[in-house]
Amino acid sequence: MIRCKRLRVSRLLSRAGWAVLAVNAVACSEWSAEPAVTEPAALREGAAEPAANILLISIDTLRADHLHAYGYDRRTSPAIDRMAQEGVRFADVVAASSWTLPGHATMLTGLDPASHGVVAFRGDSSLPGEVEMLAERFAAAGFRTAAFAGGGWVSSRQGFDRGFERFRSAEQTFRFSGRLKRAVRNAWNWISRHRNERFFFFLHTYQVHMPYKPPRPYDRMFDRGLTGPKRRSLPFGALSTWARDGVKNRAVAAQIRKLYDGEIRFVDLWIGKLLGWLRSSGLDRRTCVLLTSDHGEAFGEHGDFFHDRAKLFQEVTSVPLLVWCPGRLEGGRVVESPVGVVDVAPTALELAGLPVPDDLDGVSLVSQLRGDVVPPGRVLLSDVDLSVERPLLSNHDPEPGFVLGLRRGSYKLIYRSTDGSRQLYDLASDPSESENLVLLRPDVLADFEAPLAAAIERRRSLPEASVARPEAANPGFIEELRALGYVE
């Protein structure tokens, strides 16, 4: 628990609680002034009272290495870059899964997929009632709670509305650019109305998700000669064709990446606006922003595009996490040790001054925000069910099984349950995961055997209701998923 003295930060905001804004990946060119670079970040003793409010924003499908702050050569993310300079950037963040539903279930519970049980790719998947959501914990502590989500796999159907007094999702609204604008403006309006109360707010957008339709001028920002079936509106069928060609044709693969980068740059604009509004109102001095994502996106690195295969390579499991707390964190620090999306919920709870339950799989990262060094040896888990490779409306039973990813330090083990195969990589020397060390490093493999056996046992103990089966999904839900590329 962090205890600090109260600061009066503005006439409007005096005597109101501290705020925490957790964000899942975005940025803005209009957030323009060059930030001052300070000493490495640490929680300032006596700088402000523990946060009373939380806003968590998740940018679906954002891979870390397409942000300039994470070393990308294109200027896709000026607002996020400034967040990194003014806050704390976690350099190595492990996603809990390679697709939206289990990834967000972990983000909003602090539980690994095997603990919350939402692993199957099927239309009726939902969070078990006994799993306590982050919003429920805040509501029980007297916080006002609200969420604006993108629908699809993040909606009330899956139980994501639990604990929110107001939950609004963008079902059946498929103009992604318009949806983002409305969501950010609605978020700010709600925050403004409740700025003198303690609150938890969750903002989620699919803007970066396929089918990659950035509005002008972002559709051509990184490729002025852009060509294709429909330059600004590529249906999933066309993207699938492009992806098949992209595996063979580097020029096509590069073009898909440029559309994706255009989406990131557009999202960056609107997050920058939101952060600018926080600054102009003075709320930034009582606000912490956590920016992250549920999973990344593949662009042919291991023979696949998008994230619809049961694979857990870095392109789909490496995501950003930044924490921005003006007046409380000095900027510019980078935490190199691996952490997980599973840590977002407990971190938000501690920043808000609430207790972190002992039964969570994730841990609070507040000690790392202070600058403490975390002892090595922690194992982080990723999980994807083989049902993701079955078309949602198929009448054929999927092959039962799962793939697990285990991270310990720089080493990563990938296990496939159907054949017991193992792949071992040293990400420090082989970030592209091209050299399997299973036969070369039996000592490292042996270190993974105990945590792997425990993870397999937990996964296989899931109740039958959590395993995949064909279903007759709601037509409206199917249309939402078709807009996101999950249904052809």
Q: State the pLDDT at residue 172.
A: 39
Q: State the pLDDT at residue 483.
A: 60
Q: State the pLDDT at residue 211.
A: 76
Mean pLDDT of all residues in 8-30: 38
Q: State the pLDDT at residue 247.
A: 53
Per-residue confidence at 367, pLDDT binned at 50, 70, 90?
very high
Q: State the pLDDT at residue 282.
A: 86
Q: Is the peptide bond before 463 cis (omega within 30 degrees of 0)?
A: no
Per-residue confidence at 244, pLDDT binned at 50, 70, 90?
low
Q: In sequence order, which residues have a C-beta less than 8 Å from that of residue 319 and are 6 or more positions away? A: 25, 62, 63, 64, 93, 94, 95, 292, 293, 294, 295, 296, 341
Q: State the pLDDT at residue 2.
A: 35
Q: In sequence order, which residues have a C-beta less than 8 Å from that of residue 38 and are 6 or more positions away? A: 330, 331, 332
**pLDDT above 90 for 445:** yes
Sign of CA dihedral 360, 361, 366, 372: positive
Report the alpha-carbon distance of residue 170 to residue 205 in Å, rounded.
9
Residue 278 DSSP SS3: helix
Sign of CA dihedral 363, 364, 368, 373: negative
Q: In sequence order, which residues have a C-beta less than 8 Å from that of residue 5 and are 6 or more positions away? A: 46, 47, 48, 49
Is residue 362 within 8 Å of 343, Cβ to Cβ? Answer: yes
Q: What are phi and psi of 186, to 5 degrees?
A: -65, -40
Which stretches does DSSP call E strand in 110-236?
Answer: 144-149, 166-169, 199-205
193 or 474: which carries more pLDDT confidence? Answer: 193
**pLDDT above 90 for 326:** no
Q: Which residues make up the CATH 3.40.720.10 domain(s) of the chain?
A: 18-370
Q: Which residues make up the CATH 3.30.1120.10 domain(s) of the chain?
A: 380-483
Q: State the pLDDT at residue 225.
A: 63
Report the alpha-carbon distance of residue 352 to residue 50 in Å, rounded.
6
Indicate the pairing of strand 339-340 with strand 380-385.
unpaired
367 or 482: which carries more pLDDT confidence? Answer: 367
Q: What are the CA-CA distances from residue 474 to residues 157, 188, 392 (Å)?
A: 10, 32, 12
Q: What pLDDT digit, counting tens, does each position of 61-105 carry? A: 999 999 999 999 999 999 999 999 999 999 999 999 999 999 999
Per-residue confidence at 202, pLDDT binned at 50, 70, 90?
very high
Give the neighbor-by-neighbor strand order of the sheet with 380-385.
380-385, 402-408, 411-416, 421-426
Q: State the pLDDT at residue 143.
A: 93
Report the alpha-carbon distance of residue 323 to residue 302 in Å, rounded.
31
Partners of 403 in the beta sheet?
A: 384, 416
What the block records as the tokens of 218 is 């972002």
Q: State the pLDDT at residue 4.
A: 36
477 or 334: which carries more pLDDT confidence? Answer: 334
Residue 479 DSSP SS3: helix
User: Looking at residue 56, what DSSP letter applies?
Assistant: E
Percent of the chain that is helix, strand, coil (3-state, to 5):
35, 20, 50
Q: If one looks up domain 380-483 in CATH, what number appears?
A: 3.30.1120.10
Report the alpha-carbon distance of residue 435 to residue 450 in Å, rounded.
23
pLDDT, averaged across the chain = 81
Fold classification of 18-370 (topology level) = Alkaline Phosphatase, subunit A (3.40.720)
Indicate the pairing of strand 88-94 with strand 333-335.
parallel
Lowest-pLDDT range, 154-158, 324-328, 414-418? Answer: 324-328
**pLDDT above 50 for 283:** yes
Mean pLDDT of all residues in 400-406: 94
Report the alpha-carbon distance of residue 139 to residue 474 in Å, rounded.
30
Closest alpha carbon to 487 in 101, 98, 123: 123
Per-residue confidence at 209, pLDDT binned at 50, 70, 90?
confident
Per-residue confidence at 17, pLDDT binned at 50, 70, 90?
very low
Q: Is the peptide bond before 229 cis (omega within 30 degrees of 0)?
A: no
**pLDDT above 50 for 363:** yes
**pLDDT above 70 for 31:** no
Reported residue count of the chain is: 488
Residue 464 DSSP SS3: helix
CA–CA–CA angle 303, 177, 88 (5° rounding):
70
43 or 379: which carries more pLDDT confidence? Answer: 379
Q: State the pLDDT at residue 359.
A: 96
Lowest-pLDDT range, 90-104, 112-126, 301-315? Answer: 301-315
79 or 169: which carries more pLDDT confidence? Answer: 79
Mean pLDDT of all residues in 122-131: 86
Q: State the pLDDT at residue 397.
A: 55
Per-residue confidence at 213, pLDDT binned at 50, 70, 90?
confident
**pLDDT above 90 for 26:** no
Is residue 447 within 8 Å of 409, Cβ to Cβ? Answer: no
User: Looking at residue 19, what DSSP letter applies?
Assistant: E
CA–CA–CA angle 307, 206, 179 (5° rounding):
160
pTM, to two decimals: 0.84
**pLDDT above 70 for 12:** no
Residue 181 DSSP SS3: helix
Per-residue confidence at 7, pLDDT binned at 50, 70, 90?
very low
Indicate the pairing of strand 402-408 with strand 411-416.
antiparallel
Q: In sequence order, which residues have a C-beta less than 8 Å from that of residue 274 and are 6 or more positions away? A: 28, 184, 187, 188
